Amino acid sequence: MELLKKAQIGIHQQMIAALQNIMDNRSKTIRDILLKIYNDQDLNTYIMSMMDDTEPGEFYADNTFDKQTIVNKLDDLVSVDKNISHLILYNNTTKKAYLYLYDLNYTFSDFTKPIIKNIPQLQKPTQESFIIPAHLDPYYALQSSKYKFGIASNFYYPRSSLFLGRFIIEFGIEDLQNTVLQFGKDMQGYLLILTKEGDVIFDSSSTYYGKKYPYFDKIGQSSDSVQLAEDSIVNVVNSDQSKFIYASVLPKSTLSKQLSIFNNSTYLAAIILLLFIFSVYFFVTGIISKRVNRIVNAMGKTVKSNLLHRIPLTHKDNEFEQIAIHFNKMCDNLQDYINKSYVYELQQKVAEMKILENQINPHFLYNSLEAIRARLEIDGNDEGGQMIYSLATLFRASLKADSVVTIAEEIEFCHMYLNIFEVRYQNLFQFHIDIQDNIKHCGIIKLILQPIVENYLIHGFDRRRQDNVLSIRGYQEGNTICITVSDNGIGIPFDKLNELKRKLNTASPSTIGSIGLHNANERIKLLFGSSYGLDIESDGSNGSNVTLRIPCLRPEEIKEQNITMLKNLPSNH
């Protein structure tokens, strides 16, 4: 109960603060409008003529500006607040009143009788400003059902203290209603805005409009228990700035009803929760039983020598899934052990190919990272980001299962690799790639060009020169595809060139130098035969050419040929 009470009091305090802010702005709006009238000579002249009992037609005939000019100026005055509905001028001497209806767009007209009838405060001799309580709009030809309230200010002759009459601005209460509606059903009770005499300006319950609040003498201050229509909690705020009293009334019976609803909702929620828990229990138990039976059935089939049967995986992270995974792995290992003697040489050849590929990748990754590190330490700029992106793309490509790609894809990998070094050696290195379109769809071993390019960057690149150039050209000769990597680098001395060629034709790679080229050459020969591979040429001191030759085949043809070759290898069984 106490929590509900504090919550409602908090909401009421927020609402009072919001309403007080709106009404304070109303007071400021009136001051601003009066100041504009005093400072605008045309408006001042027009309103003074009304105070002198000059009819609007006579005023326009005697002055140089027309009616529309006055209308526009008046519209500018009231447009600062969309809730302004009327402006009223009351001449204290002649006892005549003039009404300006903003939303009907015409200037002041004589509405003396209905205005005086509905605003009895005008008859009082006092010169003090006053507030007009909420009332239905009586000034239209068609009666309105919307409540208005007004604020009357004194009007004086400019540059003198002579009192002329009243300047009244009437406001609608729609924005006050909308502010209360924002809280919807969260707010209980009702809110009031009252004059110092107890007249109702705003009532969120719409019960007390058109009369004084009957319990005004009982709400002088905030209290946890005030006997109004019923025992209620009252919160009161007096505003000296806008001369209004703000009050919120929360009947205690409303809190009791809300507490009863809360308790009933709690009991219902508890029952629903219990039903949900039981449902989840039986549901989870059923799932567990199903998973256990799945594993038990699979084990039964395995016991009956059906080693090919596997437990279907659900790809869910739980203990039963882990049991199924490990059971399947155990069956796989057992099956592998049984088949080992039949597929020994096949596995050996596949392993040999993988070893050759994996020897290249770490070497490649190390050199690439070293290039990135060096560049970042030198510049400390964002170019390293692009280098890292290219390296990540290459590394992902190296980890893909497919060992055969199109020439277009291989050239893209090579392009990314060269981009890394182009960023590192700005103004020292450039490269050109020219691949015939008719061979781009053909297949090639993945990352086979990388060790060739890397060999130049390590052994042929001259940091003392600014015209280092690497060219990659791809073309077709009959049924053979040739890709030539040329450079204008340091070159290869003839004795080292002969030694390098000898190593390329050696069955086992040397432990030092050109491991990447040897591995690339071995991979080509293993897959396509001894008539294909790498060919290296150099004049000894100015550049070198490495030509790669492979058959003109589509990627799927190369994969099929690879499988056929491995199946036809001799076996021990």
Does 308 lie in the same domain as 328? yes
**pLDDT band for position 262 (cuts 50, 70, 90):** low
In 3D space, the residue among 109, 101, 97, 105 whose CA is nearest the CA of residue 84 turns out to be: 101
**What integer pLDDT is reported at residue 573 of this predicted model?**
36
Tell me whether residue 277 is in a domain. Answer: yes
Does 276 lie in the same domain as 157? no
Tell me whether residue 35 is in a domain. Answer: no
227 has which bridge partners?
231
Does 412 lie in the same domain as 383? yes
Which residue range is the domain that position 327 belongs to?
256-336
**What integer pLDDT is reported at residue 357 of this predicted model?**
59
DSSP state of 345: H
CATH number of the CATH domain containing 139: 3.30.450
With a CB cutoff of 8 Å and minimum separation 6, the contacts of 284 are none
More confident residue, 436 or 89: 436
Tell me whether residue 542 is in a domain. Answer: yes
Q: For residue 490, give the 3-state DSSP assignment.
A: coil
**pLDDT band for position 192 (cuts 50, 70, 90):** very high
**pLDDT band for position 57 (cuts 50, 70, 90):** low
More confident residue, 409 or 526: 409
**pLDDT band for position 570 (cuts 50, 70, 90):** very low
Does 126 lie in the same domain as 91? yes
Give the chain's domain count.
Answer: 4
**What integer pLDDT is reported at residue 512 of this predicted model?**
44
Most confident of 44-53, 113-122, 361-370, 435-444: 435-444
**pLDDT band for position 464 (cuts 50, 70, 90):** confident
**What integer pLDDT is reported at residue 141 of this predicted model?**
44
Q: Which residue reads 């290296």 in tokens?
A: 536
Does 210 lie in the same domain as 168? no
Does 328 lie in the same domain as 229? no
d(CA 481, CA 31) in angstroms, rounded, equals 91
Above 80 in pLDDT, residue 538? Answer: yes
239-243, 275-279, 478-482: the lowest-pLDDT one: 239-243
- The answer to whether 534 and 548 have CB atoms below 8 angstroms apart is yes
- 87-136 confidence digits (pLDDT tens): 888 888 788 888 877 655 556 776 677 677 777 777 676 667 788 888 88
Average the pLDDT over 399-419 and give the result. 86
Q: Which of 336, 359, 385 is the last residue of a domain?
A: 336
Q: What is the pTM of this model?
A: 0.45
Most confident of 62-71, 84-93, 157-166: 84-93
**What integer pLDDT is reported at residue 515 of this predicted model?**
76
Q: How many CB atoms lie within 10 A of CB 346?
A: 15
Tell me whether residue 398 is in a domain. Answer: yes
More confident residue, 496 or 164: 496
Does 349 lie in the same domain as 304? no
362-366, 516-520, 560-564: the lowest-pLDDT one: 362-366
Does 245 lie in the same domain as 301? no
CATH number of the CATH domain containing 489: 3.30.565.10
Q: Which of 145, 176, 207 is the last residue of a domain?
A: 176
Tell me whether residue 108 is in a domain. Answer: yes
Does 157 lie in the same domain as 237? no
For residue 219, which phi and psi values (nearest 5 degrees)? -115, 45
Tell me whether residue 14 is in a domain. Answer: no
**What integer pLDDT is reported at residue 563 of this predicted model?**
63
Q: Identify the sign of the CA torsion 272, 274, 280, 283.
A: negative
With a CB cutoff of 8 Å and minimum separation 6, the contacts of 548 are 448, 449, 452, 482, 483, 484, 485, 520, 524, 533, 534
121-125, 426-430, 447-451, 474-478: the lowest-pLDDT one: 121-125
What per-residue string of b and e applies to 242-263 under the rule 16 or more CB within 10 Å gives b?
bebbbbbbbbbebbeebeeeee
Tell me whether residue 492 is in a domain. Answer: yes
Cα-Cα end-to-end distance for the chain: 87
Above 50 in pLDDT, residue 310? Answer: yes
Does 354 lie in the same domain as 416? yes
Above 90 in pLDDT, residue 254? Answer: no
For residue 94, which phi and psi values (nearest 5 degrees)? -85, -10
Q: Which of 230, 251, 272 is the last residue of a domain?
A: 251
Most confident of 359-363, 391-395, 436-440: 436-440
Q: Which residue reads 């309103």 in tokens?
A: 47
Does 470 lie in the same domain as 395? yes
Does 201 lie in the same domain as 154? no
**pLDDT band for position 52 (cuts 50, 70, 90):** low
Average pLDDT, the chain: 79
**What integer pLDDT is reported at residue 534 of this predicted model?**
94
Tell me whether residue 534 is in a domain. Answer: yes
More confident residue, 226 or 354: 226
Average the pLDDT over 59-65 and give the result. 56
Q: For residue 110, give the 3-state DSSP assignment.
A: strand
**What integer pLDDT is reported at residue 267 of this predicted model?**
82
